[in-house]
Amino acid sequence: MAHADQGRIAARLAELGVTLPEPAAPIANYVPAVIAGKLLFVSGQVPMREGKIAYTGKLGASVRVEIGQQAAQLCFINVLAQARTVLGSLDRVARVVRLGGFIAAVPEFTQHAQVMNGASDMAVAVFDEIGRHARSTIGVPSLPGDAAVEVEAIFEIA
């Protein structure tokens, strides 16, 4: 599906060197995103690139914090791809309300927040002040497909 989004956020993504991928299809019985009133809820996105999970493993074991940050950033890019598909243009985002991060990690790992900064920093880079958001970051024993990180989002829309 081609996207004709040539708005302000599309231009910002181009400045950042980010090309949004085609959004991944759900792997179970859910939809990628739901609009409820003025909110857009985007289902959790793993770090997919070209149809494959690009970052697998556990933080604190085979995955370093810096790699986890890259995974979180890619998850947020995939969140944006889902949002653009539903909204037509990311210029409809009035505010990034909340991000939820799930970090696959060994029990001793404690740097979940630093990993999730990969997604949060990208939200602010793309949306500036309206990209500042509330956030929860949770360590989990495993994620679908052995993904290292998963990110979900809530946006206020215009």
**pLDDT tens for residues 23-63?**
998 889 999 999 999 999 999 999 999 999 999 999 999 99
**pLDDT tens for residues 78-94?**
999 999 999 999 999 99
Q: What is the pLDDT of residue 5?
A: 60
Calculate mean pLDDT across residues 5-15. Answer: 90
Percent of the chain with pLDDT over 70: 97
**Torsion 127-101-5-89 (CA) sign:** negative
Strand order in the sheet with 134-140: 33-36, 39-45, 149-157, 93-104, 134-140
pTM for the model stands at: 0.95
Residue 7's alpha-carbon distances to 88, 127, 129, in angstroms, are: 10, 12, 17
Q: What is the pLDDT of residue 4?
A: 53
Calculate mean pLDDT across residues 68-73. Answer: 98
| Fold held by 8-157 | 60s Ribosomal Protein L30; Chain: A; (3.30.1330)
Q: What is the pLDDT of residue 2?
A: 44
User: What is d(CA 140, CA 54) in angstroms, rounded to the nearest whole number?
Assistant: 18
Question: Does the pLDDT of residue 114 top 80, yes or no?
Answer: yes
Report domain extents, the chain: 8-157
Q: What is the pLDDT of residue 1?
A: 40
Calculate mean pLDDT across residues 103-124. Answer: 98
